[in-house]
Chains A and B, each alone.
Chain A
Amino acid sequence: MRLPFCIGCMELIRSDKLVFEYVRRDKNGEVDGFVRAIDEVSLEINQGDFIAVLGPNGSGKSTLAKHLNSILRPTEGTLYIDGMDSADSDKIWDIRSTVGMVFQNPENQMIGTIVEEDVAFAPENLGIEPREIEERVKESLITVEMLGHRKASPSKLSGGQKQRVAIAGVLAMHPKCIVLDEPTAMLDPVGRKEVIRAIRALNDVENITIILITHNMEEVIYADRIYVMNKGRMVMSGTPREVFSKPEELEENHLAVPVVTRLAHELRKAGMNIPEGILTRKELCEAICRS
């Protein structure tokens, strides 16, 4: 059943004052308090959006991510995924096949001994016909540009390649949305680029909703919208240009702006005619030459 507010629109995720608290215990296992990891977070995400979630360590980003495919359930407030209430335990499998997750360390989510087996794992578990599985594995590996490695052992792949195989594994479930929790944190610059390119292709070509959680400010400039979390609260949101136009506010939230944005901001402060919210080196160089 779709809820009234979803009719006629492409809304995929909506949370209303979502709260998550966990119990803290002392050395003897006695409850000594509650920690509010998510504090009244409300958001709306539409099908096909590319969303980035930024926030310092411990700000609640990962806890929020775990709500999106029902690994955790809200303590208070509501969260609807494609019209399904995430608190409804009957919907848990439907939610998990709607929203796929990719974690920081790809090795933690690899099971197959060869790449194609690994990618086939999820659709096999969904009970899909073998021929269809074969199709899905192939198209998923093509999307992340890993088809040439389909017979390789995951242990022989680079970090970026492993992470792309992990993404293909999620993709083979045909989710509407993929949540990536710091997928590039353990990768080198080349691996980062490969993974970010694959993520952008999923969004542009397949129209899959992307929720990218990261610390890397350079990765989020392609997002349609950025949400900034701190201490469990949603403290800023807007397009990359809007959010990065406020470097001081980001710094208060223990974050930084990309190097070019910061340089642009400093030049502007020193009186040069440079617009706010510059995101790329090309933009900055052109703005400097024009001024």
Chain B
Amino acid sequence: MQIIVNHIDHIYNPGTVFEKKALSDVTFKAEDGEYIGLVGHTGSGKSTLALHLNGLMKPTSGGIYYDGVDIASEGYDLRSLRGKVGLVFQYPEHQLFEEDVFTDVCFGPKNLGLEPEETEQRAYESLKAVGIDDDRFYVSPFDLSGGEKRRAAIAGVLAMKPEVLVLDEPCAGLDPQGREEILSIADSLHEMLGITVIIISHSMDDLAEHVERMLVMHEGKLVMDGPAREVFMHREELESMGLAVPEAQAVLSDLKKMGLPVRDDLITIDEARREILRVFGRQA
């Protein structure tokens, strides 16, 4: 599903002393199946933008279009939009509430008014997609490990069969293995199912290893938009916004400053490793 965000503003508490411009002239287009990282300092407007994407918040001005249709137009079915644009909030496991994992995942599709068979089919597929074993289906969600709880909560959103999935800090509070599990689920949703995946994260290292495109928010504005590799070339600008570049890229750019002839437009650990070896292989 193609997304067009067309010059949107969002002002909190307009006309009061608490008036605050949270989004200012944000514009971008995302084609079907893109894999996007959305970054920005706390308070930069990332989460406000995410809430606009599935119509939970309405822009003060400007518009949002899915497949060319303005979601603010009269008669637009926002309810079905929320099924198509899945939003996984921070700490989604706090929203687990049913008696067992399977019933919990069924909650969303059941509310869409689907037949019980279809509901269960979707719940099964979603739990499989996030790597929850069959023998965990009927335990209480509260008996799952931290990483499993997070995955079960994501399965609950997947069961709605979204075409766009927005994950807000999906790795917060997880151990390194749990983080990797969540990110590889995001990878496979993008690769296998062709879902548009938007990850909001503070970890540039994680984003460098996974997403293709980066959107950078600063003080309510979208200040950078491009392939991850290009965005991370602007190290000084990012640092001035309180953001960082991936550690692997920082190593390369420091080495370049120290006089080594390395490329500094590489962002993953593996790329950095190969680049350093290439330079030394040639010298040796």
Point out which of A104, A158, A260 has the most chain B C-beta atoms below 10 A from its C-beta: A260
Indicate whether B155 reaches chain A with its CB closer than 8 angstroms: no
Closest chain A CB from B155 CB (angstroms): 18
- From 228 to 284 in chain B, residues with beta carbon under 8 angstroms from any chain A beta carbon are 242-244, 246-248, 250-251, 254-255, 258-260, 269, 272-273, 276-277, 280
Indicate whether B205 reaches chain A with its CB closer than 8 angstroms: yes
- From 151 to 191 in chain A, residues with beta carbon under 8 angstroms from any chain B beta carbon are 158-159, 182, 185-186, 188-191
Contact B177 A254 (CB under 8 A): yes
Indicate whether B111 reaches chain A with its CB closer than 8 angstroms: no
Count residues on chain A whose CB falls below 8 Å from chain B CBs.
36
Contact A263 B42 (CB under 8 A): no
- From 113 to 148 in chain B, residues with beta carbon under 8 angstroms from any chain A beta carbon are 140, 145-147
Contact A281 B276 (CB under 8 A): no
For the complex, what is the distance from the CA of A17 to the CA of B202, rounded to whole Å?
A: 39
A259 surroundings in chain B (CB, below 8 A): 205, 246-248, 269
Contact A289 B176 (CB under 8 A): no
Contact A56 B251 (CB under 8 A): no
Q: Which 8 A-B pairs have the closest CB atoms?
A: A57-B146, A259-B247, A256-B176, A56-B175, A254-B177, A188-B42, A185-B173, A285-B254
Contact A189 B176 (CB under 8 A): no
Indicate whether A284 reaches chain B with its CB closer than 8 angstroms: yes
Indicate whether A135 reaches chain B with its CB closer than 8 angstroms: no
Closest chain A CB from B21 CB (angstroms): 18
Indicate whether A266 reaches chain B with its CB closer than 8 angstroms: yes
A255 surroundings in chain B (CB, below 8 A): 175-177
Given contacts A189-B243, A190-B242, contact A267 B273 (CB under 8 A): yes
For the complex, what is the distance from the CA of A262 to the CA of B180, rounded to whole Å?
A: 15
Point out which of B147, B174, B276 has the most chain A C-beta atoms below 10 A from its C-beta: B276
Given contacts A189-B243, A259-B247, A263-B269, contact A289 B205 (CB under 8 A): no
Indicate whether A10 reaches chain B with its CB closer than 8 angstroms: no
For the complex, what is the distance from the CA of A262 to the CA of B246, rounded to whole Å?
A: 13
Indicate whether A125 reaches chain B with its CB closer than 8 angstroms: no
Contact A191 B42 (CB under 8 A): yes
Closest chain A CB from B280 CB (angstroms): 6
Q: Which of B178, B258, B269 sits near A266, CB closer than 8 Å?
A: B269
Closest chain A CB from B266 CB (angstroms): 12
B41 surroundings in chain A (CB, below 8 A): 188, 190
Contact B176 A263 (CB under 8 A): no
A185 surroundings in chain B (CB, below 8 A): 172-173
A182 surroundings in chain B (CB, below 8 A): 173
For A286, the closest partner residue in chain B by CB is B258
A158 surroundings in chain B (CB, below 8 A): 42-43
Closest chain A CB from B235 CB (angstroms): 13
Q: Which of B43, B140, B176, B280 sits near A291, CB closer than 8 Å?
A: B280
Given contacts A191-B42, A259-B269, contact A58 B146 (CB under 8 A): yes
For A215, the closest partner residue in chain B by CB is B175
Given contacts A158-B42, A215-B176, contact A289 B269 (CB under 8 A): no
Residues 43-56 of chain A, each 1 if its beta carbon lies under 8 Å from chain B, else 0: 00000000000011
Closest chain A CB from B271 CB (angstroms): 10
B250 surroundings in chain A (CB, below 8 A): 281
B254 surroundings in chain A (CB, below 8 A): 281-282, 285
Q: Which of A56, A191, A289 sits near B177, CB closer than 8 Å?
A: A56
Indicate whether A71 reaches chain B with its CB closer than 8 angstroms: no
For the complex, what is the distance from the CA of A215 to the CA of B147, rounded to whole Å?
A: 13
Q: Which of A188, A254, A260, A285 sits near B176, CB closer than 8 Å?
A: A254
Closest chain B CB from A185 CB (angstroms): 5
Contact A266 B260 (CB under 8 A): no
Closest chain B CB from A289 CB (angstroms): 6
For A291, the closest partner residue in chain B by CB is B280
Closest chain B CB from A273 CB (angstroms): 10
Contact B258 A285 (CB under 8 A): yes
For the complex, what is the distance from the CA of A186 to the CA of B259, rounded to whole Å?
A: 38
Closest chain B CB from A187 CB (angstroms): 8
- From 9 to 46 in chain A, residues with beta carbon under 8 angstroms from any chain B beta carbon are 27
Q: Which of A159, A191, A285 sits near B251, CB closer than 8 Å?
A: A285
A263 surroundings in chain B (CB, below 8 A): 247-248, 251, 269, 272-273
For B246, the closest partner residue in chain A by CB is A259
- From 241 to 260 in chain A, residues with beta carbon under 8 angstroms from any chain B beta carbon are 254-256, 258-260
- From 148 to 185 in chain B, residues with beta carbon under 8 angstroms from any chain A beta carbon are 172-178
For the complex, what is the distance from the CA of A111 to the CA of B142, rounded to whole Å?
A: 28
For the complex, what is the distance from the CA of A270 to the CA of B243, rounded to whole Å?
A: 32
Contact A254 B175 (CB under 8 A): yes
Contact B276 A267 (CB under 8 A): yes
For the complex, what is the distance from the CA of A272 to the CA of B177, rounded to whole Å?
A: 28
Point out which of B42, B146, B244 has the most chain A C-beta atoms below 10 A from its C-beta: B42
- 25 A-B pairs within 8 Å (CB atoms) are namely A55-B175, A56-B175, A56-B177, A57-B146, A57-B147, A188-B41, A188-B202, A190-B242, A191-B42, A254-B177, A259-B205, A259-B247, A259-B269, A260-B251, A263-B247, A263-B269, A267-B277, A270-B277, A272-B276, A281-B247, A281-B251, A289-B255, A289-B258, A289-B259, A289-B260
B276 surroundings in chain A (CB, below 8 A): 267, 272, 288
